[in-house]
Chain A
């Protein structure tokens, strides 16, 4: 099976803009989780979607949002970008019943 794919791989934005990142899970996986990784805070859980519904949410401001489509593909959106949003954004998929998560390569976002 193909692994988790994320697009784009690299992105440069300026403060105040918004950005949308995309994640395609492993075929048959229904859960998609998103994480943010920064040098200062490490890997932090953003949110998880299962069957088009947000099932879990981390401690991030409302500027961070996501959605999941009927084919399990997911997008996350960050509005009003801040310099501190520069990070590696990772998505992971699992079958959805608490099984192992498999991560994609990530999208590296730089906010100038």
Chain B
């Protein structure tokens, strides 16, 4: 699975958009970019995934660069409940049952 690189941490003001970056240094053409988040001591929560087109759902938007070397997860109006560790993961559709989690990025939303 692709190795991803994320900043260790990021702060965001409540109500503002949170833009979480991820670099996929070895992503291949058939690897999806998955985003999960984990609020303290809970199970990871699926957010969104995409292959090459931008994706949007009720939680977030995912912007993937044309060369697919990086992506940005956008939380349009961050709330205090969005404070969590966010994981960006690359996985083939046939390999998504064994996700390889990195260290993730701690997002802190401040009032």
Contact = CB atoms under 8 A, between A and B. Distances in A.
Interface stretch (B5-13, B15-23, B75-83, B87-95): B87-95
Contacts, number: 65
A43 B101 contact: yes
B33 to A, nearest CB: 12
Contact of B98 (A56, A96, A99): A56
Given A42-B102, A43-B101, A100-B49, A105 B42 contact: yes
Instruction: Name which of B44, B94, B101, B104 has the most chain A CB atoms within 10 A of its CB.
Output: B44
Contacts of B96: 94, 98-101
Given A42-B103, A88-B41, A100 B98 contact: no
The 6 closest A-B pairs by CB, nearest first: A103-B43, A43-B101, A98-B93, A45-B98, A98-B94, A48-B97
B86 interface: no
Contacts of B97: 31, 33, 48, 50, 55-56, 94, 96, 98, 101
A41 to B, nearest CB: 10
Contacts of B100: 45
A21 interface: no
A37 B92 CA distance: 22
B43 A90 contact: yes
A43 B42 CA distance: 12
A65 B32 CA distance: 29
25 contacts: A4-B43, A33-B98, A42-B101, A42-B102, A43-B99, A43-B101, A48-B97, A56-B97, A58-B98, A90-B44, A92-B44, A92-B99, A98-B93, A98-B94, A99-B96, A101-B46, A102-B46, A103-B36, A103-B43, A103-B44, A103-B45, A103-B46, A105-B43, A106-B43, A108-B41
